Structure 1
Amino acid sequence: MKSLTIDNLDFELMIDHDQIQKRIRLIGIDLNMRYQDKHPVFIGVLNGCFMFMSDLMKQVVIPSELSFVKLASYSGTEQGRLSELIGVGMDLKGRDIIIVEDIIDSGHSLKYTMDALERLEVASISVCALLMKPANLQVTFDNIMYIGFEIDEEFVVGYGLDYNGQCRNLPNIYQHVPSGS
């Protein structure tokens, strides 16, 4: 599919599945070399990371573990403020952590995740994200080690990213095309 429409919003193909897989293979090769003697723990941030994490872990051949977390938000008037990191489910003290994200936008949720993991006394934290919007970053990071693709401020769907819960299952990434473009 070169384009699609969701709830009267038009999207066009931005990054196809083959490009995504090539980039993931390169990231996997580097992770295997960098962490070959460290037995890292990959922490995927749900829901968006599931496709990226699945394909990434197929490229990681070193001994490692994985888990998933989910960020919960306050409801009501505080909506959007992060309140809790749910689901680590294992002792991470002294472990090397690789956070796997679908997209880094403002950086606030990533910062919250990192702060929560640091309180667990981990040895190190690195970040691996499929997409990043550098122009939108409002937080400074020194441990983003892997970025699949840098994009502008486009709204994107597919390959784990959704619009109103739709399109996470698509194998490609599509960008929103404003009306009249």
Structure 2
Amino acid sequence: MTTMGNPRPKLADALANAELLVDRAAIDRAIAGMAAPIARDYAGEVPVYLTIMHGALPFSGQLALELGARGLDLEFDYLHATRYRGETSGGELVWKHRPATALYGRRVLLVDDILDEGHTLLAVKQWCLEQGATDVRIAALTTKLHARGVPGIHADYVGLQVPDRYVFGFGMDYHEQGRNLPGIYALK
């Protein structure tokens, strides 16, 4: 299999040169901890719950169940916008799927696996507001610790902070591999 014409690096090689930063139990605790403030902030409402594919899929499903356990109903939809397309650095934003749910007059919760610099999330948030969303908030499983963030974007709900390294697992990929790893790893 190739990535943009180059042979895909092997996940096994990456794991052999990586360290486990966050195990599954810590991820589970972080997601459960995020649910209480989200449920409180949306009490009595049914927000549009937009999962950003593919990375947020494991996190989004687990967070949705935690929110349901706290009595919060959600209207599910998804979007797929990417700047990476299998690479390790971002380029131009590419929309692969836009939500079918009307956002006009609605509160939206964007759910993503990581907030790194924020270019993609800022563009997605702006698009939601252009569609008439009255409020757009971001739930990110992880945020990276660095000072390169795009002005005007932040996660309203954060599960974990990770170092400024190449991280993968639990939704985050290593050359489109390893999203289903039950922990978060960083290359050494």
Fold in common (TM above 0.5): yes
CA distance in 1, matches of 2:185, 2:23: 8
CA distance in 2, matches of 1:139, 1:164: 24
- Tell me the equivalent position of 1:174: 185
CA distance in 1, matches of 2:175, 2:55: 12
Taking structure 1 as the reference length, the TM-score comes to 0.86
Secondary structure of residue in 2 paired with 1:60? helix
- Tell me the equivalent position of 1:60: 67
Structure 2: gaps (5+ residues):
1-10
Alpha-carbon contact 1:73-1:84 (below 8 Å) kept:
no
Secondary structure of residue in 2 paired with 1:135? coil
Residue by residue, what CA displacement relative to the aligned partner does 1:34-54 show, whole Å, maximum 9, x if unpaired?
111121111111110000001
Mapping of residues 1-181 of structure 1, within 5 Å: 5-6=12-13, 10-61=17-68, 62-72=72-82, 80-84=91-95, 86-141=97-152, 144-177=155-188
Structure 1: gaps (5+ residues):
none
Whichever residue aligns with residue 40 of structure 2, its letter is M
Alpha-carbon offset, residue 156 of structure 1: 0.8
Alpha-carbon contact 1:72-1:86 (below 8 Å) kept:
no
Alpha-carbon offset, residue 25 of structure 1: 0.7
Residue by residue, what CA displacement relative to the aligned partner does 1:5-57 show, whole Å, maximum 9, x if unpaired?
43586111100000000111111122111111121111111110000001101
Residues 8 and 35 (structure 1 numbering): CA distance in 2 closer, same or farther, change over 3 Å?
Answer: closer
CA distance in 1, matches of 2:156, 2:150: 15
CA distance in 1, matches of 2:84, 2:22: 33
Q: Which moved more, 1:138-147 or 1:156-165?
A: 138-147
Q: Quick check: which one's strand share is greater?
A: 1
Secondary structure of residue in 1 paired with 2:40? helix
Whichever residue aligns with residue 50 of structure 1, its letter is L
CA distance in 2, matches of 1:125, 1:88: 14
RMSD of the alignment, in Å? 2.2
Alpha-carbon offset, residue 140 of structure 1: 2.1
CA distance in 1, matches of 2:73, 2:125: 23
Aligned residues: 171
Residues 34 and 161 (structure 1 numbering): CA distance in 2 closer, same or farther, change over 3 Å?
Answer: same
Alpha-carbon contact 1:72-1:82 (below 8 Å) kept:
yes
Secondary structure of residue in 1 paired with 2:141? strand
CA distance in 2, matches of 1:33, 1:130: 18
Alpha-carbon contact 1:9-1:176 (below 8 Å) kept:
no
